Structure 1
Amino acid sequence: MVQGTTSDAGKSTLVAGLCRVLARQGVKVAPFKPQNMALNSAVTADGGEIGRAQALQALAARVAPTVDMNPVLLKPSSDTGAQVILHGRARHDMDARAYHAYKPLAFEAVRESWQRLRARYDVVLVEGAGSPAEVNLRDRDIANMGFALPHQVPVLLVADIDRGGVFAHLTGTLDCIAPEEQALVRGFVINRFRGDVGLLMPGVDWLTARTGKPTWGVLPYLHGLHLDAEDAVVAEQAAAGSGPRLKVVVPVLPRISNHTDFDALRAHPQVDLQFIGPGQPKPAAADLVILPGSKSVQADLRWLREQGWELWLQRHLRYGGKLLGICGGLQMLGRSLHDPLGREGGGSSAGLGWLDLYTTLAADKQLRRVHGRLDLGWRGAGTGGADGARPPTAAAPTVTGYEIHLGHSQGPDCARPALWLQDEDGADGAAASAPLRPDGAVSADGQVMGTYVHGLFDHPQAQAALLAWAGLADAQRHAVDLAALREASLDRLADTLQAHLDLPGLWRSVLG
C-alpha cells in the first residue's frame, strides 16, 4: 500500500508507475483505492463509476478498469456534503457527519472488492487517501491505516520534497500513528526532487538512523507527464508552437468535474488554454469558451452569474466567439434547469438561454462509455443534415469518450445534434452494433454547441474538427493524440522508477 504524508504527495502517480513496471514484467497486477474523494471520475468496463486515477492505474496495469478498483467514491456537492458511490453506483447523499457514521457499512463494500481482486490478480497495489496522520479521522478510517492494519498490508510512505519540510513530514507522520501501524511502514520514497541528490543524502541517512526505516529512492521532478489528474486542476501547458494560437477559456466552477476533458488542449502547441478561477480577471477576448462539467449545476450557474460571466459571454458571442458546453455546461446553456427530485438541491432556474432546450434531472445517473461521430452537417461540411434526421457518414470525425450525468435534455436545438453515438460493449449492456443515437445540440447559427460526452477532445479527429470550428487554421496538422501521450508518459514514469528506486530491495521487504 502506498500512503502519503499529504494530499498530492504522489501516491496516484507512484501506484500507476509501479503498475506499469510490473505489467511490463508480465505480472498480473491491479490497482485498488478503498475510498476516494474526487470530482474527476471514469466509467468502467462493467458500467460503473470510479475515480479517474484508478482508471489511469488500470491502464498502466494493462487491465480493464472495474468498480472493485475503487469501491467507495465520494463526489463533493458542497463544503460539507457529498454523493456516496458504492461499487460504481450512487447510493446516498450525505453530510460529513452522516458519512462518518456510515463508514462501517462502506467498509463492507471495501472488503468485498479487496477479496475479489486478491482472487483475480497476483499483485494488488493499494493507494491511500490524504494522509494517515489525520488523527481526527482515524476513528472508523477505511482509507489508510484503518484498511492496512486489519489486512496486514505493508505500507510505503511517500513525501513531496517540492513542498519543503520533507523530513518533518515523514517523521511527523510516523509519530502520529500507532506503534502497530508504524510497524507496517516498510520505508519511504521522496518525490519531486530537483537538484544534486548528493546534497540530500545526509538528510536521508539521518532519517534512516532516526526511524530505522530505509528510503527506497529519491524520484526526480518529472516535467511534461500527460497523466490524468485525480482532482486538482492542472494548468501546465505544452510549449507554444510556431504560428497562430487559439485562445480557449474555461471558467473554473466551484464544483467543476472531469476537467481532464481539457488535457488534450493543455498538450496542444497551438492552443492557449486559460483556466479562470474566482476573482481572476477575464481576458479581453477569446476564440472559444468552454463551460465544463459540474457536480452542482444550478449552484455553479449562480456562481457564473455572480462572477459576471453571463455579460462577458454575451459580448463574446456578439463578437463572433464560439461557446461549447460539456455535460453540466450543456445544461447551463439551455433555457431552464429542473431538479424535481432534489438530486442536486432541488428547484428550477433559468439557464443562459443560448441553446433552445431544457434539462430535467432524473433519479438514475447515466453511465456509458461511447464512441461515434461528430456531426458537422449543421455547418455545411458533413452529411448529417441540418435537421439532424440521420447520422453523418463514416467519413465524419471520430469521437470517443464517456457519459456521467443525471440530466435529460430536450428541445428544438436537439434536432441539430452535436454527436451521434454508440454505447461500447460492457457499458450498460449495450452492444457496439446498436444504431447511432443523437447527443447534444447546436444553435441555429452554429455558434453554440453542447454535448454530454466527456473526453470530447481526446480523439485527434474530433479535436481537430472542433478546433477548426473554433477558428484554428490547419488544425488537423497539429492534432494531439492524447492516448499515445498518456502511454508514453506511463512508460517514462516506469523507466524513472526503475532507475531511481531500489525495487528489488523493496519487493524483498514487502514479501518479508
Structure 2
Amino acid sequence: MQQKKNKPIMILGCTSDAGKSLLVTAICRLLANRGVKVAPFKAQNMSNNAAITTQGLEMGRAQYLQAIAAKIVPNIKMNPILLKPSADTFSQVIVNGKVNDEIAQLPWLARKPFLWPEVTKALDSLQNEYEQIVIEGAGSPAEINLRESDIVNMAVALHCNADVYLVSDIDRGGSFAHLLGTWACLSKSEQKLIKGFVLNKFRGDPALLDSAMAWLEEKTGIPTVANIPYYRHQLAEEDSFRLGCKYQKGMLNIALIYYPYASNLDEFDPLLYQHNINLVPVHQNGDLSLFDALILPGSKNSGASLQALRATGLDQNIIQFKKTGKIILGICGGLQILGESILDPLFLEKGSQQGLGLIALKTTLEKDKITQQRQFNYAGEILMGYEIHHGKTYAGAQVKTFIDKSIGWSEDNIYGTYLHGLFEQRCFYNWFMRQIGGLENGLNWAAHTELELDKLADMFEQHGWL
C-alpha cells in the first residue's frame, strides 16, 4: 500500500536568525513522536558548522540535527548544497557532500543552472521516501536582488507546492512591519502559498498582540497562527555563539580562541552548558594566564585565522600561556596553527606561513579533503568523532601520540587532534577535566540531546499550529 503523502511544510523567515532552524527541528521531532515518517530539507545552507555522514559526506550541522530530531539517519539529500565561507568574498561550495571547485569559481548568478537540478533531484527523492517533508528556507525570501538566482526559498516552495509559514523574530522588534513587508515583496503566486504568520521568541503578555494580529490579517488575508515564546535550549546552534562571557572568579575558566572562520563551535556545547564551567570566547589581545585551559577550535581558513592572531597580538598571548604549564588543546585548524608551519603550495588559503611553533608539527594543505567518521578505543571506552580537513600533518621525533597516531599528537602541555566532537564523548570530557582540576561529570551528550529534542517538541505542541 502506497504511503499517504502530505504537502511539504516550509518555514521561511523575514530575516536571518529568525529561528527557522529550531522550528524545523521542533516540527520534525513532534511529527516523528506522532509516528509520521518525516524528513528535513534545506536546499542551500551557508555555515561553517558542518557534519559528516556515515558515508563520509559533508552536510550542514542544522540539517544533521533535524534528521536526528526526525529519528532518521542524516543524508546529504537533506542539504544538497552547503556553502562554507573561507574569505570575505569567497565560499567553498559543497555539492551532494563533496567539494566542487568548478562551481565555486562561477559568479553567483551563473550557478543556478548547475545547482537547481541537484536541489530538485534531492527534494523529489525525499518526497518519494517520506510521508512529510519539513523545509527550511534561508535568510529572507524578500531579497529582491537574489530572486533571479533563488534556489532555496520561494523557488523551492513553488516547485513542491509547499504550505509556507513566514516567521519573524519579535524579540528584535518591528515584527509586523517585517511580516507585511516580506509578504508584499512576493509575487501573487507566491503569496498564495503563505498559510500563516508566526511570531517567534516572544517575551511578555500575548494579549498585547491581538489588535496587531487582526490588523495584519486585514492587510494580507493571512492569519497569525502561532506565537512561540522565547525558548532556552541546549541544542546546537547553526551559526551564533555566545560572545559576551568574561572571566569569572571562582569558576573553572576555559578560553576559547575565537578567530575569523572558526568552525564547528557547536562541539563545545558540553562545556558551554555546564554550570561549573565558564567558556570564554577570546578575540582580543590580553593576558590569558588566569585561565585554566586554552582551546583553539577548527577553522575554515587556518592561514587567515593565524594572520588574525598575529594582527591582534593574540599569538604572543598564546605563546606566553604555554609557559604556565596549563593545557592548550588545538582541534583541526587549531592544531595546524599550533604547529611549526602550514605549507600551502596550491594557495588554498593564505599561502605558506610559519605557525606558532608550540608543537613540532608540520602541515601541508592538499586539494583532496578528508571527511570521515572515526572511532577509537580510548581509556577503555569507545571514542567517536569525525574528521573534516584539507591538511596532512607530520610529527617530529619528540612528539607523542594523542588518542591515535593517525589523528592526534602531544608535546609537553600542548595537545592537538583532527578529531571533532570530542567533548560530546564522556570519556574525553572526563579526561580533559582531570587535566585541569575540574569535575568529571561528563554527560552522555547524545542522550542529553534526545531529551532536549523531546522538550522542544513539547513546547511547540503547546504553542505551535500543528
Q: Contact 2:285–2:317 (CA<8 Å) still a contact in 1?
A: no
Q: Contact 1:397–1:465 (CA<8 Å) still a contact in 2?
A: no
Identity of aligned residues (%): 42
1:156-206 Cα offsets, whole Å, 9 max, x none, are: 111110010110110010111111111111111111111111112221122
**Residue matched to 2:6:** none
**Residue matched to 1:46:** 55
1:418-437 alignment, distance < 5 Å: 418-420=402-404
**Residue matched to 2:406:** 438
Shift in alpha-carbon separation, 1:322–1:263, aligned structure 2, 3 A: same
**Residue matched to 1:10:** 19
C-alpha separation between the residues in 1 aligned to 2:360 and 2:55?
A: 34
**Residue matched to 2:455:** 492
Q: Give the 3-state SS of the residue equivalent to 1:77 in structure 2.
A: strand
1:3-402 alignment, distance < 5 Å: 3-92=12-101, 98-223=107-232, 225-235=233-243, 245-277=251-283, 279=284, 283=288, 285-345=290-350, 347-374=351-378, 395-402=379-386
225-234 or 291-300, larger mean C-alpha shift: 225-234
1:103-140 Cα offsets, whole Å, 9 max, x none, are: 22111111111121111111111100000011110012
Q: Give the 3-state SS of the residue equivalent to 1:14 in structure 2.
A: helix
Q: Contact 2:93–2:104 (CA<8 Å) still a contact in 1?
A: no
Letter in 2 for 1:343: L
**Residue matched to 1:450:** 416
Q: Give the 3-state SS of the residue equivalent to 2:51 in structure 1.
A: strand
Shift in alpha-carbon separation, 1:413–1:131, aligned structure 2, 3 A: farther
Q: Contact 1:35–1:143 (CA<8 Å) still a contact in 2?
A: yes
Q: Contact 1:140–1:146 (CA<8 Å) still a contact in 2?
A: no
> What is the CA-CA distance between 1:68 and the residue it aligns to?
0.4
C-alpha separation between the residues in 1 aligned to 2:445 and 2:39?
A: 23
**Residue matched to 2:392:** 408
Q: Give the 3-state SS of the residue equivalent to 1:200 in structure 2.
A: helix
1:27-60 Cα offsets, whole Å, 9 max, x none, are: 1111000000000000012221000000000000
Letter in 1 for 2:364: T
1:469-501 Cα offsets, whole Å, 9 max, x none, are: 1x124x22x223322332121111100111112
C-alpha separation between the residues in 2 aligned to 1:14 and 1:97?
A: 33
Shift in alpha-carbon separation, 1:232–1:61, aligned structure 2, 3 A: same
**Residue matched to 1:429:** none
Q: Contact 1:2–1:11 (CA<8 Å) still a contact in 2?
A: yes
1:348-378 Cα offsets, whole Å, 9 max, x none, are: 111111111100112211111122244xxxx
Q: Contact 2:376–2:382 (CA<8 Å) still a contact in 1?
A: yes
Q: Contact 2:289–2:324 (CA<8 Å) still a contact in 1?
A: no
> What is the CA-CA distance between 1:244 and the residue it aligns to?
5.5
Shift in alpha-carbon separation, 1:454–1:74, aligned structure 2, 3 A: same
> What is the CA-CA distance between 1:306 and the residue it aligns to?
1.1
1:66-121 Cα offsets, whole Å, 9 max, x none, are: 11010000001111111110000001276696132112211111111112111111
> What is the CA-CA distance between 1:415 and the residue it aligns to?
5.4
57-66 or 188-197, larger mean C-alpha shift: 188-197
Q: Contact 2:319–2:358 (CA<8 Å) still a contact in 1?
A: no
**Residue matched to 1:386:** none
> What is the CA-CA distance between 1:502 and the residue it aligns to?
2.7
C-alpha separation between the residues in 1 aligned to 2:272 and 2:146?
A: 36
* Two-structure CA RMSD over aligned residues (Å): 1.9
Count of residues in Structure 1 that have an aligned counterpart in Structure 2: 455
Q: Contact 2:57–2:96 (CA<8 Å) still a contact in 1?
A: yes
**Residue matched to 1:467:** 433
C-alpha separation between the residues in 2 aligned to 1:276 and 1:209?
A: 49
Q: TM-score, normalised by structure 1?
A: 0.85
C-alpha separation between the residues in 1 aligned to 2:228 and 2:221?
A: 21
Shift in alpha-carbon separation, 1:236–1:153, aligned structure 2, 3 A: farther
Q: TM-score, normalised by structure 2?
A: 0.93
C-alpha separation between the residues in 1 aligned to 2:397 and 2:389?
A: 19
Shift in alpha-carbon separation, 1:209–1:96, aligned structure 2, 3 A: farther
**Residue matched to 2:4:** none
C-alpha separation between the residues in 1 aligned to 2:354 and 2:28?
A: 47
C-alpha separation between the residues in 2 aligned to 1:362 and 1:291?
A: 21
**Residue matched to 1:508:** none
C-alpha separation between the residues in 2 aligned to 1:489 and 1:236?
A: 24
**Residue matched to 1:507:** none
Q: Contact 1:325–1:451 (CA<8 Å) still a contact in 2?
A: yes
C-alpha separation between the residues in 2 aligned to 1:280 and 1:498?
A: 46
Query: Which runs of at least 4 in structure 1 moved beyond 4 Å after TM superposition?
Result: 93-97, 279-284
Q: Give the 3-state SS of the residue equivalent to 2:94 in structure 1.
A: strand
1:186-242 Cα offsets, whole Å, 9 max, x none, are: 11111111111111222112222221111111111112x1111111223588xx9xx
- 5+ residue gaps, structure 1, are 375-394, 421-436, 504-512
C-alpha separation between the residues in 2 aligned to 1:264 and 1:236?
A: 18
Q: Contact 1:402–1:455 (CA<8 Å) still a contact in 2?
A: yes
> What is the CA-CA distance between 1:283 and the residue it aligns to?
4.8
Q: Contact 2:286–2:314 (CA<8 Å) still a contact in 1?
A: no
